[in-house]
Amino acid sequence: MKILVVNAGSSSLKYQLIDMETEKVLAKGGCERIGIPGSLLKAKGNGKEKVYEQDMPTHKVAIELVLHALHDGEIGVIKSMDEIDAVGHRMVASGEYFKKTTLVTPEVVKTLEEKTFELAPLHNPAAATGLKACMEVMPNTPMALVFDTSFHATMPEKAYLYGIDYEDYKKYGVRKYGFHGTSHKFVSGEAAKYLGKNPSELKIVTCHLGNGSSISAVDGGKCVDTTMGFTPLAGVLMGTRSGDIDASAVEFLAKKKGMSHSEIITYLNKKCGVAGISGVSSDFRDLIAGAEQGNARCRLALDMFAYQTKKFVGSYAAAMGGLDCIVFTAGIGENTPLIRAGVCEGLEFLGVKLDKKANEGKNDGSVREISAKDSKVKVLVIPTNEELVIARETAELL
């Protein structure tokens, strides 16, 4: 069985074609600048790479070009479109309308458009454009929606509710939904495999630390809490997002800066986080270089990030009543020993003991154990693979 995984943004469309028997990526690539002059597709297949510089005014043209690349003599990996058994679409927000991976029907598209667009106005309409383009070009191929939020659907009410009027939660769906669910699901599952345990036996804190960051408590294979909220703005400070902030401080800041509601939210999403604290960059490589050169605000940004992440690890250990394993994943989690050390430092009382040398080891794409042999809590670095989860969920649904 071959599954095409599609992740569509407003002007981009990334894809992978995955063979489900071997779980190998047969082809992958991305269209850039859809609807903007200068659009191109960078595609890989057959061990080769090809760049198609072609006008892509719409997502429909983009998906047609992707299918052409999948057939292309040089880099093609399939002979006919019939070889694609299904398409799995990454969808960011589900609200309370979709609790799990869902087969696409006209009714589903209607609910997606009418109920979820306002929850993720930057992501869901763009992904739906990609979905509809695929449905037009591949009308007989089953499509699935795989939501970033699904893995968090097991959170209990006490974890996902905000302390607002319960009737308002019911009326408007304002609650914590969580994001990065496919990543938290993948790495917690891989951790159980690596440890040779059944997921039901483990209490794991998964730290997805990338440009966007979220931390989840996974108890017995199920998510019981997570740091992102109604939107991905909540939790730890991130590349450019503020993370948690007192709602009254937001109003105060907006007044001082003469910003409207939407302007202050854009500011909190795009101008804050470690980029705002350091005044240098959202990229941790730049922050580390800055801190090494004595830039105190780069140092502060790194310290804040590790401190806030550590606080969530500790609070989730308390929420689960124990801790067997901490997993680090995503760009920062997989590549930054300094942050992993900063998060684990001071957690010795919970039974966390890092192996310094193992922590400094290079990311080789494999699962790496970075805790000391006598550490009660295992600390693992696990490369995430969100596309594989989307493909697996789509295949399971079929």
Q: Which residues bind ligand AMP (CB under 6 A)?
A: 210-211, 239, 282-285, 330-332, 335-336
Which SS3 state, helix, strand or coil, does residue 352 take? strand
What gap in Å lies between CA 68 and CA 71, rounded to an integer? Answer: 5
What gap in Å lies between CA 325 and CA 310, rounded to an integer? Answer: 14
On whether the CB atoms of residues 75 and 48 are closer than 8 A, the answer is yes
Q: Which is nearer to ligand AMP, 286 or 355 (CB)?
A: 286
Q: At closest approach, how far in Å is the CB of 363 from ligand AMP?
A: 7
Strand partners, 41: 31, 52
Q: Which is nearer to ligand AMP, 67 or 275 (CB)?
A: 275
Q: At closest approach, how far in Å is the CB of 334 from ligand AMP?
A: 7
Residue 157's H or E segment, with its range, is: helix 157-160
Residue 168 is a catalytic residue: no
Which SS3 state, helix, strand or coil, does residue 225 take? strand
Q: At closest approach, how far in Å is the CB of 332 from ligand AMP?
A: 5
Which SS3 state, helix, strand or coil, does residue 25 take? strand
Q: Which is nearer to ligand AMP, 95 or 333 (CB)?
A: 333
The catalytically annotated residue of 148, 219, 225, 324 is: 148
Of all residues in this chain, which one has the CB nearest to ligand AMP in the complex? 331
Both tokens of 177, joined, read 């939904």
Q: Which is nearer to ligand AMP, 301 or 352 (CB)?
A: 301
Q: Which is nearer to ligand AMP, 30 or 210 (CB)?
A: 210
Q: At closest approach, how far in Å is the CB of 324 from ligand AMP?
A: 24
Cα distance from N-terminal residue to C-terminal residue, the chain: 10
Q: Which is nearer to ligand AMP, 15 or 160 (CB)?
A: 15
Within the chain, strands assigned E span 2-8, 13-19, 24-32, 40-45, 48-53, 86-91, 102-103, 143-147, 203-209, 213-219, 222-226, 325-329, 368-369, 378-381
Q: At closest approach, how far in Å is the CB of 135 from ligand AMP?
A: 29
Q: At closest approach, how far in Å is the CB of 209 from ligand AMP?
A: 8
What gap in Å lies between CA 7 and CA 128, rounded to an integer? Answer: 10
On whether the CB atoms of residues 255 and 200 are closer than 8 A, the answer is no
Strand partners, 218: 204, 223
Catalytic residues: 148
